[in-house]
Amino acid sequence: MGKNNIKYRAQGTRNGIEILIVGAVGLAFIMAFNLLRSGEISILEIFLVSVCLVAIFVGFLKTQEPFYSLVLDEATLVYNHKYGSWRLPHANFHHSGIPKVKDSFEYIELNAVGVKVNDIDEFLADIAPRIAGKLLIEQRYLFMQAVQKHCKNGNCPSEWLIEDTQYKSQKGICYNGLIAMFANRAKFLQLLTGYDLLLPASVLDRDVWDFSANLNKWKHQPSQFIASQVRD
C-alpha cells in the first residue's frame, strides 16, 4: 500500500473501550455496594446490573471490529472486516453511487454505497471464502430490500432467493461454494441496482452520499484526491 492513505473508521465501532469500562466499573460498584449492606437486592439494582452487562457486551463487540473499516490509497480500496478483508484495485473500480430500487412510482434508496467493478472475476479471485460467507449473511437484508421492492406482485425468480453454490462467469470461469454464492449475489444485485458490491452505511464514517462522492473523486484523480485529504 502506498505511503499516503486515507483511513476511515466506522461510526458504530467507536467508543467500544469506553463503553466496556463504564459497564465494568458500574457493575463492580453495584456488586460492592450490595456486599457492604444488608437486605435483598432491589428491582432498581437488578435493572442497573442488566444495563451494565449490556454495556459490557456492546463494548466488547465494538472492540472486536477492525479499528479502520476502510483504507484508501492511490492504488487500492481496502474493506476491513473482523473476518478478513477484500481489496479493489483502482483499475477495477468503475464507479460508485447509492443503490436505488423502484417502488411503484418512485425510487427507494438503500442505506449503502454501491460499487460497480470492471472485472468481477478479478475481484472473485482475490476474496477469501470466509469473508465472502460473512458478507452474504450480513448484507442479505439489503439485498432482500431490493428483491422485495422489485417483486411486489410475488413473481420473483426462484434463483434470487436461493444461494446457488455454482457459478459460471461471462469469461467461462467456474466457481463453487461460498465464492459462487457471493458471485451469484453480486450478479443479481447488479441486475437489480446496477452495482456489484455494497458498503453498508454502518461501515462508513459519514453519510453514504458523501462517501460515494469521495470514491468517484478518487476514481478520476487518485493522486490528487489522496493528497488533498491527507493534507486536510
What residue spans define the domains of the chain?
Answer: 7-64, 90-219
pLDDT recorded at residue 205: 84
Provide the pairing of β-strand 197-200 with 76-81.
unpaired
pLDDT recorded at residue 112: 94
Angle, CA of 219, 223 and 225, to the nearest 5°: 65
Q: Which three cell numbers stand for residue 120?
A: 468481477
Neighbours of 29 (CB within 10 A): 12
pLDDT recorded at residue 9: 83
Neighbours of 186 (CB within 10 A): 21
Query: For every one of its 232 residues, what pLDDT tens digit does the chain have, with 9 covering 90 and above?
Result: 446 889 888 766 555 667 667 778 777 877 777 777 766 777 777 787 788 788 776 766 666 667 788 999 999 999 998 889 999 999 999 999 999 887 767 778 899 999 999 999 999 999 999 999 999 999 999 998 888 777 766 667 777 777 889 999 999 999 999 999 999 999 999 998 999 999 999 889 889 999 999 999 999 999 889 988 876 5
- How would you class 36 by CB atoms within 10 Å of its CB: exposed for 0-12, middle for 13-18, buried for 19 or more? exposed
The Cβ-side half-sphere exposure at 24, using a 13 Å CA radius, reads 9
For residue 196, give the nearest of 128, 119, 125 by alpha carbon: 119
Distance CA 76, CA 72 (A): 6
